[in-house]
Amino acid sequence: MIRTLITALLGAALLLLLQSVVPYARNLTNGYLAKDNELFLSLATKGLHWREPHKPFHIAGMLHFVGTQGLGAYLFATREGLILLNTGDPTSGPQIEDSIKQLGFDPKNLKVMINNHAHSDHAGAFAYLKKLSGAQLAIMEPDVAMIEDGGKSDFHYGHDWEIMGQEPAKVDRVLHNGDRVTLGEVSLTAYNTPGHTRGSTTWVTQIAEGSRNYLVVFPDGAGFNPGYRLVGDQPDYPDIADDYRRTHHFLEMLKPDMWFAQHTEYFDMAGKYAHMAEEGSAVWIDPEGYRRFIAQKKRAFEDEIDRQFTSQPIKQGTP
């Protein structure tokens, strides 16, 4: 029961945490945990190491990692300044600032900040870092309100924004599907891949390492959280299921050499990092892993659709 519940919610990483409090965990149900956002956030933060520091490191070309053990934040160091993709949760600002310094860069040289989506575990420190650096914040249009109101307009968590939100930050540039963010020699293309949030953004770029150029993708939008209403009379928003399916199709069409995500367990950062000393940047080349990841997200979504359909009450008079 515990293994099934936790795998369905956040993956096997939380299993060990829940096993340490089995008497309490035995009383949990999927529906209960979906309604208790404070508990959900607490378990995810501890079980998936969202606040535990990770040594910053160079990935390839101008790309560096400046996130935590569990949350992916990425730095592009260009000749004209720094681009930051994602933060961690609302406590992560000083940690990211320190990671940038450890890499030998000045955090005040942040020029542009972008994100995958506007939930607090990936956008929580934008306000802190914007005050520090004055960086321009560029966000996909459907997520702009969430960034500027601290999460109050989130279609799923807005009612509980005091738990699930973050300090508001002013958006300087509103992005639309296919827009590019360019600084120095780095150009990233933003694709709106809605589902997880309406403004979920997949970023695509090229990175040169040695004599090779790599297509690099930061996918987003494919996953759902506990309690997301995808079908029925009151979905979280109209056409959410159609958005997910369009997003899954778009992500399937991408063929990256390297890929990274806002949650580090998605691309097995720990496993790959352990071999980086021997293999160098080539350790991050993983097209097969990307295909498996998208296929797993697509399968999980369709399974959840089936589950929600079968749990819908049968209306009187419905043939």
Give the domain ranges of the chain: 52-310
pLDDT confidence of residue 16: 40
In angstroms, the CA 256 to CA 295 distance is 15
What residues have CB less than 8 Å from 214, skipping those under 6 apart? 60, 61, 206, 207, 208, 256, 257, 258, 285
At 39, the pLDDT band (50, 70, 90 cuts) reads confident
Q: Domain 52-310 is classified in which CATH homologous superfamily?
A: Ribonuclease Z/Hydroxyacylglutathione hydrolase-like (3.60.15.10)
Average pLDDT in the chain: 90
Q: Which band of pLDDT confidence, cut at 50, 70 and 90, is reported for residue 31?
A: low
| Predicted pLDDT of residue 92 | 98
Is it the case that residue 85 has pLDDT exceeding 90? yes
Structure tokens at 164: 């699930």
Give the pLDDT band of residue 33 (cuts 50, 70, 90). Answer: low
Over residues 193-218, mean pLDDT: 97
Better-predicted residue by pLDDT, 12 or 203: 203
**Confidence check: pLDDT of 201 > 90:** yes
Question: pTM value?
Answer: 0.90
Q: What is the per-residue pLDDT for 30?
A: 53
Q: How confident is the model at residue 17 (pLDDT cuts 50, 70, 90)?
A: very low
